[in-house]
Amino acid sequence: MPPRTKIDKSSILDVALDIVRRSGIESINSRSIANELGCSTQPIFSNYETMEELKSDIIEKATEIFSQYCRDYISSGKYPQYKSVGMAYISFASDETELFKILFMRDRSHESSISNITFHGEVLTALSNDLGLDEEQVNRFHLEMWICVHGIATMIATKYLTLSEDMISEILTDMFNGQKSVFIKEKI
């Protein structure tokens, strides 16, 4: 008899992430994962006490993937650093729709602390320095820009609209320049 294959937490998470990417977080359950792994549900509950614990790990992994999108866009140098984060956000919504939904389109009313993974400290510091805005102003500037970026990303993730990368870039530039003129005028 061949030795039993040990199914570890990492394998379970990888399979669960693949299921989410194909079918959404709602499709995650012990049977769907066990079917993909070709095993019983026992290894899943040997590694995870609850499905909520697994879903938490899925969200953490999705956050890592999104952060990598941001780093890749920033390091490409194609766009200014601040714009790169917005472009990465929208690209993530298009490429990783289900992961985008669990990170940015889920009910957060039950969460005691909503972490804002779109606030990249070094990016906002650079933006603050470039525009000469104080912390409160740059946070407001970013919030208003992020609302625009999130709107585009959500419309793309829900297949409401399709835009080319060039069009998205132009829209973000227009929004940025409009915001900039408002905030710079307020300083005078």
pLDDT tens over the chain, length 188 residues:
455 568 899 999 999 999 999 999 999 999 999 999 999 999 999 999 999 999 999 999 999 999 999 999 999 999 998 999 999 999 999 999 999 999 999 888 887 655 555 556 777 888 888 888 888 998 899 999 999 999 999 999 999 999 999 999 999 999 999 999 988 876 54
25: its two tokens: 């977080």
> What is the distance between the alpha carbons of residues 27 and 13, in angstroms, rounded to a whole number?
14
- For residue 178, give Cα distances in angstroms to 27, 82, 86, 118, 183: 42, 15, 16, 21, 9
Coil, helix or strand at residue 187: helix
pTM for the model stands at 0.88
**What pLDDT is attached to residue 106?**
87
Calpha distance 20→28 (Å, rounded): 7
Number of domains in the chain: 2
Which residue reads 């069009």 in tokens? 167
Same domain for 162 and 126, yes or no, is: yes
Give me the domain span that covers residue 180: 63-187
Domain match, 125 and 163 both:
yes
pLDDT at 115: 53
Structure tokens at 180: 């900039």
Judge if 26 and 68 occupy the same domain.
no
